[in-house]
Amino acid sequence: MLVKLVVGSLFLFLMQLVLKNVYYMGYHLHYNEHYPGKCEQVKGMSLGSEDFYTFNDGLTFITSGVAIQNNTFSQREYMVKHNIIGRMYLFDFNKNKAAAEELSIVGSNDGFNVKLFHPHGISGWIDKSGVKILFVVNHEENGADYIEKFEFIPTNRQLKHVKRYRDDTMLRVNDVQATSKDSFYFTNSGTGSGTVLTMIQLLGQLAWCTVVYFDGNDYRVVLDGMSMPNGIAMSNDGRYVYIATSMSREIVVTERKTNNDLIRKQVYPVYSNPDNIIVDSRTDNLYIGSHPIAYKLFQSMEIHKPSQVLMLKVKDGNITKTRELLYDDGDLLSGSSVAIVFNSKLLIGSILDKTVLCDVNVPL
């Protein structure tokens, strides 16, 4: 009798897990295409524009060539075929044209090798002298995850590498949010780079992940029990930190304490798989590049994946409503990962596909 009870309970548990994963994968979902205005491909770029950081003057720095270590859904063959390597680009909203330029990267002497560079998440800071500083997640080829610090040299259109950060708390780093010229938060979207552990976490939908804070000297976990945290961004006044949790399809709003601890304030469902978050510099509203149908994201890189851009209205740190600015089946843009509206233009990036600029002819 006891054996039957155990077997029955295990069967019900597994069935629940299977049904939960089928629902998560989105086999039942369908969307209608729509765009905020005319859209065109940004020229001067390779495939891939995983994340952006836009300063208040409209200069936008773009990471390209992400390659997560031991990725379960291998990207390597696709990247070799399309000559996708680690690059950094600059897009200027003030020029009002769909073109970007590749930035040269000047290495430092602390072990950073630009040939092994595969940038992912990015965040920026301006120091007291006005120098633009960038923190970039680097999945170093055949190596560990790092966060690299660069200074932008505008006269030469260069990024000067000045420092790299590495710690045992960097398990599977996804995104970074600067809080000063030498401190930041970062998200771990997994518990390590191992394929088996990644699959267990994904299929079991296990909330094993963390957000870590580095204060300039020490690293410490400030949030745990997270379901695959992806993008992270901070409100303009520094009071709130927003975290996209891809697996639970939510935005977690946290309040930032004086000691930089994060306290959950709101969990807001978006019914999509959010990737990166950008905070509007004027309104504090959030722009999200998202993956609306999960199973298509996990298919071959050669298969087009749907793209979705969401704008989340924010008031007093709380998200109040969602607006979908764009949905595309994958022909215009495959696998949208980040988006921002600036000067009535919508710039959209992708994991390993095109970068697109659209006119915004709809009220925001």
Q: What angle do CA 27, 33, 38 make, to 5 degrees?
A: 150
Sign of torsion, CA 271 272 275 281?
negative
User: Would you call 291 a catalytic residue per the annotation?
Assistant: no
Q: What angle do CA 288, 174, 64 make, to 5 degrees?
A: 75
d(CA 79, CA 26): 27
Task: Give me the helices (H) in 149-227, please.
Answer: 195-204
Binding site annotation covers 122? yes
State which H helix or E strand residue 79 sits in. helix 76-81
Binding site annotation covers 316? no
Binding site annotation covers 92? no
Binding site annotation covers 278? no
Give the torsion through C-alpha atoms of 79, 301, 269, 285, to 10 deg.
50
Question: What does DSSP assign to residue 115?
Answer: G
Asked if 343 contacts 58 with a C-beta cutoff of 8 angstroms, the reply is yes
| Catalytic annotation, pick one of 118, 120, 139, 291 | 120
Q: Exposed/middle/buried for 124, CB within 10 Å: 0-12, 13-18, 19+?
A: buried
Binding site annotation covers 83? no
Binding site annotation covers 175? yes
Residue whose entry in the numeric block shows the structure tokens 């610090």: 149
Binding site annotation covers 109? no
Asked if 282 contacts 268 with a C-beta cutoff of 8 angstroms, the reply is no
Long-range contact set of residues 164-170: C-beta below 8 Å, sequence gap at least 24: 164/108, 164/110, 164/111, 164/112, 164/138, 165/214, 167/212, 167/214, 167/219, 169/210, 169/212, 169/219, 169/220, 169/221, 170/144, 170/145, 170/146, 170/212
Binding site annotation covers 32? no
First to last CA, the chain: 62
Give the catalytic positions in this structure.
Answer: 120
* Binding site as annotated, residues for Ca(2+): 50-51, 122, 174-175, 230, 275-276
* Binding site as annotated, residues: 50-51, 122, 174-175, 230, 275-276
